[in-house]
Chains A and B, each alone.
Chain A
Amino acid sequence: MQATPTTPQKKKRSIRSRDVLFHLIVGGLCLLMIYPIIWMISSSFKGPSEIWTNVTSLIPKTFAWGNYSEGWAGFGGITFATYFRNSLLYAGFGTLAIVGSSAFIAYGFARIKFKGRNFWFSIMILTLMLPGQVLLIPQYILFNELGWVNTFLPLIVPRLAGGPFFIFLMVQFIRGIPRDLDEAAEIDGAGRFAIFWRIILPLMQPALITAAIFSFYWTWEDFLSPLIYLSDPRLYTVSLALRSMADPNAATNWGAIFAMATLSLVPVFILFIAFQKYLVQGISTTGLKG
């Protein structure tokens, strides 16, 4: 290579043009990726006269705020206030139950040496591979016998047993915490529960947050379980309500549906923006599916 005085400048210029090319391609593809989402949000503001005639535009000619009030009114005299409350209850309590118990269980697997530990841990990992569909019908029969159909119990009670994926994630996390703190507390006479509650749990915060976000997402979006267990419209979650509104056999007010669909994504995006770091880390390190 010949070193001429112009080389550094040349190199700099070629880097810059490569950067521009990179941003053009990646940015363009990025626009394509999020276009559908933006399109739905903008359609939620389009009135019936333009929603399907001005279909590709992302800016409504006139903002039809009415879509939101019409959508919020829901159907059968039940408003979306009820559906959102149900979804929040389900996602909130469901998440609290599964994250709390998973942490408790994970501590047992990670820190206490007891007979049968490896056996039960392997069984738990095996259940990870078990497709939920296999248990769907017998579980339904069980909850039907218990009289739990049309209540939130079948959706929340099984979560008190923790989630294998979250337990696994937390066991890995606890194993990374140095044992010195446990041992010091043990010498001070602290019992197992006190060690878990006062030392391990506060240190587990990142794992707890990651698990909580994923649990909230999966529960918020869950469709199959509410579909099977909740048939009373007063118990509908947002997902069920949206599906009922979009009944293919009836004339459908798509503006109103898009308005409510957009609202249903707001909590998801707020969490996404607030906890992006935890999400990316959770997926990258454990393969948690988002």
Chain B
Amino acid sequence: MATTTAQTAAAEQHRASERKRERRETLSGYMFISPWLIGFLIFTLLPLIGSLYLAFTDYNLTSAPEWVGLQNFETMFFNDPRYWKAVRATFYYVFAAIPARLTFALAVAMILDNHRRGIGFYRAAYYAPSIIGGSVAVALMWRRIFASDGVFNGFLNILGVPASQAWIGLPSSAIWTLILLAVWQFGSPMLIFLAGLRQIPESLYESAEIDGATPWRKFFHITIPLLSSVIFFNLIMQLISGFLVFTQALVITNGGPLDSTLFYALYLYQRAFVNFQMGYGTAMAWVLLVIIAIFTAIAFKTSSAWVFYEDEG
């Protein structure tokens, strides 16, 4: 009897100290994440809620926001031809640049997937454009490469093709100079693919070879399936960043000529920070968020059909 009371008392004490410990853990947990938590509330959640309201207002920073209901969205969809030009240019860019960049990245990764001498150097050299590609310095360089007296025409002339057009000045070719700039920066997906390729067991290729598989068959039946999760990851990340392209378009073409490179983010910037139409800009930002969310959702929904995870098979 006495022992059981002592036992329950001890157990009670143990539970109490356990609870105390838990409380202390929770307190110190929140202390450590507090910088993020406070920042999230002030710099993410509050602006997010505010922008939900702003999207339905007319606001120019100087006078108070004026509630206009759905008018921003109506203007955007039905009365703003430039908006649709921006949507079109952005889709054109994303669907040309991202597949080309990923294809190139995969091709180069496969070529570099060996242990020859100098691989480290090549890997670094192919990656170099990617670390500087987002800078204004490179954008200015690109502007001059494709100018009428630029180095691109210089080479065409050397090859015997007389060329004097300003590639960035023609509505038909301006967007392609930007696409080319995006493809030039295939370094990050290339490194991710390279890491993925190194994970594929050599034995799979060897047994396929014994069975007489051609290189094409090996590529489509071993490499692509085993790399599909990496391809999927790259595709999502690249799509999102493609929709947000800004600096290069602003510096190289500034949306021109004839709005042919007026990308979504650039038009949003012009509306919000050049014309100070904060409400309209916010409405545009929400539509962009929805577009990106739809594409991410499609990628995730379809992934079960074509992404192969090793633990399943």
Contact = CB atoms under 8 A, between A and B. Distances in A.
A143 to B, nearest CB: 10
A246 B43 CA distance: 33
Given A161-B38, A242-B137, A131 B46 contact: no
Contact of B240 (A120, A131, A254): A131
Interface stretch (B70-78, B209-217, B280-288): B280-288
Q: Interface majority SS on A: helix, strand, loop or mixed?
A: helix
B13 interface: no
Interface in A113-131: 113-115, 117, 120, 123-124, 127, 129-131
B97 interface: no
B187 A224 contact: no
Interface string A252-290: 001001100110110011001000100110011101111
A34 B32 contact: no
Contacts of A139: 43, 47
A265 to B, nearest CB: 6
B29 A33 contact: no
Interface residues of B, number: 90
Given A112-B29, A254-B144, A137 B54 contact: yes
From B48, B112, B137, B150, name the one whose CB has the most chain A CB atoms within 10 angstroms.
Answer: B137
A107 B32 contact: yes
A173 interface: no
Interface of B: 25-33, 35-40, 43-44, 46-48, 50-51, 54, 61, 108, 111-112, 116, 118, 122-132, 134-138, 140-145, 149-151, 154-155, 158, 184, 187-188, 191-192, 194-195, 233-234, 237, 240-241, 243-244, 246-247, 250-251, 254, 265, 268-269, 272-273, 278, 281-282, 285-286, 288-289, 292, 296
15 contacts: A33-B129, A37-B129, A112-B28, A117-B29, A120-B37, A192-B31, A223-B246, A224-B247, A243-B140, A254-B144, A261-B140, A265-B137, A284-B192, A284-B195, A290-B130
